[in-house]
Amino acid sequence: MKELAISGDLAVDLATAFDASPNPYMLLTPELHFAGMNAAYLDVVGSTRADLIGRNLFEVFDGGATDEGRENSRQLRASFERVLETGKPDHLAVIRYAIPRTLPSGETVLEERYWSATHTPIRDGDGRTAYILQHTNDITELEILRRQAAGRQTETALTNMVSGDILTRAEHVQEDNRRLQTERNRLFDIFMQAPGFITVLSGPNHVFQMHNAAYARLVGRDDLVGKSVVEALPEVREQGFINLLDQVWTTGEAIEGRGSPLQIRRHNGGPLETVYVDFVYQPIRDAAGRIVGIFVQGHEVTDIVLAVERQRLMIDELNHRVKNTLATVQSIAMQTARTHIDPASFAETFQARLMALSHTHDLLTRSHWEGAELGAILEHETEAHGPQRVLLNGPPLALTPATALSLGMIFHELATNAAKFGALSSVDGRVLVDWTIIDRPVRRLNLTWREVDGPPVEAPSRRGFGSRLIERSVRHDLAGSIDLRYSIGGFEATISIPLDRGDPT
């Protein structure tokens, strides 16, 4: 017989209690061989341990060779099979089963007896049914009284009522027990399968009595039962949860938490992970009203808390970017108005610059404002002139939102000037845009905008808003440098900006 995982002294005490119980008990292996029994069982069946240990139950008690005996054996075997199949207790309210008796003369006979039995699975460490525990009661006298009452037509109605009622009540009790066990199993299944985490703690030290699968997933372990919260989850000691449990135990008042951070080590030796939980600590009271434990239930809400935090950050970021964008629009409007007295001319130029800003915003929106690619920005701002007239050459480069917005406006102004006065104003003119990335001593972008095959150009007599916007954006917004050259061969701009300044927007 497999030893129970308990201390030696306690094992002896349990074995003594088992053997001294007035209720008959016996243990069967899954093959239905006797593995143990107490003295009360031996008294009921009139046998000895030496006669039973290791033998098959139906070899010792075959129920008799009659049809009724074979049917009774079938019912008993079916009960054992249900226990092995379902892993749940099974009950036989009344079963007629003959057992062998030895007469004083030495002759062995089969004696008809009536029994009420409960069969309970005993599981091993892996959860498999290792034994079946049978608790049986001999109710032969009750059955005889019932039969006598049914057969004596001349007995008084009271005798019939009393004798028949005894067994009826016993059967009702057995049926109630069966219903209660079924309901208990159903409630336990609901407890274990509940989507929220649940655990029951007992005593002032908050010892785990039971918990469901959701709680085991939350804390990353399931070896909790029998341990205090501090012993099982030492990392929560300084996080305030033990103080809350103590408060519930002392005051009897429930405590509720919303979106509370919990740092838990979900793997042995692993790092602390922060999760967020909604929870309720509810006191458990006994029949006298004394607090005996705490019922813990709740839900992990980490995804919700992080989503709310991301939303808050996005709103703050959006407010910041909207303010910056409005300031940029205001500056564009004011500067454009200074150089365009005619309303129609102002509207056309102002709208074009807003569209350039909008194009870059579209690119940033597609990436959830994580940045934009340099080549994509150049294509957006020059696509109206045709890809064969604006030739781009350089490696892929992801830009921060602030850098992308500034370069978008710069490229728009360069393309607009080229279309009005430079290479893109003639049929054969082209623009060559080349860029490289320099890693040392600091990471920088070097870009050259060169116009060829266009009309002769010369330096303007005064600087317009476009030129001022380009120079201000490079030097002030991007902390870079720019060189504008108006040569006979065509206009040329060389821009150099650092790439690792972060995103100030």
Q: Say what the pLDDT of residue 44 is.
A: 80
Residue 249 burial (CB count, 10 A): 19
Checking if the pLDDT of 206 tops 50, the result is yes
pLDDT by residue (tens digit) across 262-300?
998 877 777 888 999 999 999 999 888 899 999 999 998
Considering only residues 65 and 413, tell me which one the structure prediction assigns the higher pLDDT. Answer: 413
Residue 45 burial (CB count, 10 A): 21
Q: What does each C-alpha distance from 500 to 125, 229, 288, 434, 438 come to in angstroms? A: 59, 48, 70, 20, 12
Average pLDDT of span 89-117:
76
pLDDT by residue (tens digit) across 61-76?
876 777 777 888 888 8
Reported pTM: 0.40
Categorize the per-residue pLDDT at 8 as very low, low, confident or very high, splitting at 50, 70 and 90.
Answer: very low
Categorize the per-residue pLDDT at 127 as very low, low, confident or very high, splitting at 50, 70 and 90.
Answer: confident
- Which value, in Å, is the radius of gyration of the alpha carbons in the chain? 44
Strand 398-399 and strand 372-373: pairing? antiparallel
DSSP codes of every residue in 190-245:
HHHH-SSEEEEEETTTTEEEEE-HHHHHHHT----TTSBHHHH-GGGGGGTHHHHH
% of the chain surpassing 70 pLDDT:
74
Checking if the pLDDT of 333 tops 70, the result is no
Lowest mean pLDDT among 30-39, 325-334, 445-454: 325-334
End-to-end CA distance of the chain: 75
Categorize the per-residue pLDDT at 458 as very low, low, confident or very high, splitting at 50, 70 and 90.
Answer: confident
Looking up tokens 């008959």 gives 24
Checking if the pLDDT of 369 tops 70, the result is no
Categorize the per-residue pLDDT at 178 as very low, low, confident or very high, splitting at 50, 70 and 90.
Answer: low
Q: Say what the pLDDT of residue 163 is.
A: 46
The 3-state secondary structure of 37-78 reads ECHHHHHHHCCCHHHHCCCEHHHHCCCCCCHHHHHHHHHHHH
Average pLDDT of span 203-230:
89
Mean confidence (pLDDT) of the chain? 79
Checking if the pLDDT of 196 tops 70, the result is yes
Cβ atoms 404, 358 nearer than 8 A = no
For residue 219, give the nearest of 258, 166, 277, 171 by alpha carbon.
277
Q: How far is CA 410 from the centre of its chain?
A: 49
Categorize the per-residue pLDDT at 1 as very low, low, confident or very high, splitting at 50, 70 and 90.
Answer: very low
Considering only residues 355 and 26, tell me which one the structure prediction assigns the higher pLDDT. Answer: 26
Residue 372 burial (CB count, 10 A): 27
Categorize the per-residue pLDDT at 432 as very low, low, confident or very high, splitting at 50, 70 and 90.
Answer: very high
pLDDT by residue (tens digit) across 70-102?
888 888 888 899 999 888 898 887 777 777 777
Considering only residues 376 and 174, tell me which one the structure prediction assigns the higher pLDDT. Answer: 376
Residues forming beta bridges with residue 433, ordered by sequence position: 392, 449
Most confident residue range from 38-47, 195-204, 357-366: 195-204
Q: How far apart are CA 122 and CA 78, in angstroms?
A: 18
Q: Say what the pLDDT of residue 480 is.
A: 94
Residue 463 burial (CB count, 10 A): 12
Considering only residues 179 and 432, tell me which one the structure prediction assigns the higher pLDDT. Answer: 432
For residue 409, give the nearest of 477, 323, 470 by alpha carbon.
470
DSSP code at position 450: E
Checking if the pLDDT of 43 tops 90, the result is no
Categorize the per-residue pLDDT at 252 as very low, low, confident or very high, splitting at 50, 70 and 90.
Answer: very high
Q: How far apart are CA 416 and CA 486, in angstroms?
A: 16
